[in-house]
Amino acid sequence: MKKESLIALAAPLIIGLAFTVCAPAATAATTPRKTSIVVGADTTFPPFETEKNGEVTGFDIDMIKEIAKAEGLKVSIKTMPFNGIIPSLQAGSVDAAVAGITILASRMKNVDFSDAYYRSGLSVLVKKGSGIKRFADLKGHVVATKKATSSVDYMLKHGIPASHIKQFQNIDSAYQALVTGGADAVVFDNPVNVNFKNMHKGVEVVGNLLTGEYYGIAVSKKEAWLVDTLNSGLAKIKANGEYKRLFVKFFGGDMSGVVNEVKKPSAVAVSD
């Protein structure tokens, strides 16, 4: 048989083999992504998340809905305590979560994060006339905060013994402890402290911000594709003005937390 004939016969076989080898990769690449996602949220973190008359609302809730809308996704909100969010993401019972979640290096071992969407920090809230003027003055005092948050890590690392830290399931209980005398101060995320101060005349935020930290949308590592999708949606709502409109709606136009540039989680993660 001529050499040319052998080549002609072999060519279809080679093409067929190549198609067989490449087919699984092509199938994986074209596997459709979810068209709807379940998002975990803790509703005790106003004005980011709260629940009124059975409706979950807040900055984070509106934001994730706008991001999903921009990317053609449907969202269902699943409420849970803050300390249940990371385990739920690990188990895959939720795809993502919004709850004013600080991007921490330790959390990045268990979940992924979107680009940062809010710049925050911890502050000290006290009763007016307490004599407490800064964090250093908290020595010997009882301090309230929310369980499993970065505020607990900060206080333990900066000289507040665990016996002097009252941890509550929700921040409202911590504020109640301050108002009723069960605690001398609250150390928590500044925008939430400021929100409480604006509604209660007898308290004040004292001293400087204790940290500079960023919030991100936490994503289950089982749904790694979602990170790029959420980042794309976040960029779109920044471009169309919806992102800043949310600051007007929920923060009265205070733009101190706006993140204009892209802040990757690895660049802003706080060590704890």
**Total domain count, the chain:** 2
Same domain membership, residue 186 and residue 57: no
CATH number for the domain that contains residue 223? 3.40.190.10
What pLDDT score does 29 carry? 42
- pLDDT tens sequence across 139-197: 999 999 999 999 999 999 999 999 999 999 999 999 999 999 999 999 999 999 999 99
Task: Show the domain range for 40.
Answer: 36-119+214-253
Choose among 216, 241, 215: nearest CA to 66.
241
Pairing of strands 122-127, 203-206: antiparallel
Cα 214–Cα 102–Cα 178 angle in degrees, nearest 5: 110
- pLDDT tens sequence across 36-85: 999 999 999 999 999 988 899 999 999 999 999 999 999 999 999 999 99
What pLDDT score does 254 carry? 86
**Would you say residue 28 lies in a domain?**
no
Q: Can you give the pTM of this predicted structure?
A: 0.78
Please give the residue that has the higher pLDDT: either 235 or 272.
Answer: 235
Range 160-169, long-range pairs (CB < 8 A, 24+ positions): 164/140, 166/142, 168/144, 169/44, 169/81, 169/82, 169/83
Choose among 90, 105, 110, 116: nearest CA to 153.
105
- Amino acid identity at 233: G
Cα 47–Cα 71–Cα 266 angle in degrees, nearest 5: 65
What pLDDT score does 33 carry? 78
Same domain membership, residue 126 and residue 115: no
Q: Give yes or no for residue 11 having a pLDDT over 90.
A: no
The pLDDT-based confidence of 7 (bands split at 50, 70, 90) is very low
Same domain membership, residue 233 and residue 166: no
What is the DSSP code string of 56-120? EESHHHHHHHHHHHHTT-EEEEEE--GGGHHHHHHHTS-SEEESS-B-BTTGGGT-EE-S--EEE
Same domain membership, residue 218 and residue 115: yes
Q: What is the mean pLDDT of residues 240-256?
A: 93
Same domain membership, residue 114 and residue 233: yes
**Would you say residue 224 lies in a domain?**
yes
Query: How many other CB atoms are found less than 10 A from the CB of residue 166?
Result: 17
**Would you say residue 161 lies in a domain?**
yes
Same domain membership, residue 196 and residue 79: no
Please give the residue that has the higher pLDDT: either 260 or 21.
Answer: 260
Pairing of strands 36-41, 74-79: parallel
Taking the alpha carbons of 129, 134, 139, 145 in that order, is the dihedral positive or negative? positive
